[in-house]
Amino acid sequence: MDGASVVRIGTRGSALARWQADWVADRLRAAHPGLRVELVEIRTRGDRDRNSPLAQIAGASSGGTGLFTKEIQRALLDHEVELAVHSLKDLPTRGPDALTLGAVPDREDPADALIAPRHRTLDALPEGATVGTGSLRRQAMLRHARPDLNVVGIRGNVETRLAKATSGELDAVVLAMSGLHRLGLDGQITERLGPPVFLPAVGQGALGIECRGDDEATLAVLAPLDHLPSRRAVLAERACLAELEGGCMVPLAAWGRQVEGDLLALDVAVFDPDGRERIDASWTGPRDDPEGLGLRVAADLRALGADRLLHAART
């Protein structure tokens, strides 16, 4: 693109979404001196209703897909913006055919974070302690690990949810490590909840930069931002989720990563909503076939009864 070119980025308006869009804009300007990059704020369905549980807004049958992405995707399709920056965990695995994942930058730590100012760790929380999270996956994993806790749903942006723990309204909250790091709030984290006990959401910690599939100029502009190991890992996770027809609201957790040699590893866990049951499957395969690895793990999970647990989460 020449110096007069403009790239418009569609983004949600939260502090985290704006940080992510600004981060992408800065890297595009660094990679392409003279490129003009503008941010276009777009309100999504999930942003307009900040009080209702996410599953309730979406409807049980939808799996929660698209709550934070559909309006931004519409702006892309209508040529109002050239690209969109998503938290990849919010991006449905099946979207409009005309759109494509133009780049996946280097992934942040995909783990979850416990914020428990008084008790510090999950093990130290007393019986009956109240822990808040808006994620069905996190709720199920917490209940599986500590069935004696009172796990409640919460909504709001990162700062709002964090305040529920720091103010003492709740004993703890669970958020994404990556979001806290991006907002400079690492100091609030009292324990990292990571693999193998706590697996992240599909795509957690990664950004997904979406654009129109036929927009060759924008695809070329995005190329320097693409981090192949991160792309492979999240493609494996997303292929497994798509095969099991799960949305971003179902209690499914996945951890893809490149391992030694030319291999890609994928661990996936599926829970029932109450956390009583957990089904796990893991495979390692060639790194150049992430979708195949995801399908292989999905087949194992299905054979172990994952469909039954996921159906319970949708009803």
Residues designated as active site: 90
DSSP calls for 75-133: HHHTTS-SEEEEEGGGS-SS--TTEEEEE-PPP----EEEE-TTT-STTTSPTT-EEE-
Nearest CA to 194 out of 207, 182, 178, 208 is that of 178
Query: How far is Cα 58 from Cα 204, in angstroms, rounded to an integer?
Result: 20
- Asked whether the beta carbons of 104 and 230 are under 8 A apart, the reply is yes
* 194-196-197 Cα angle (round to 5): 75
CB burial of residue 162 (10 Å; 0-12, 13-18, 19+): buried
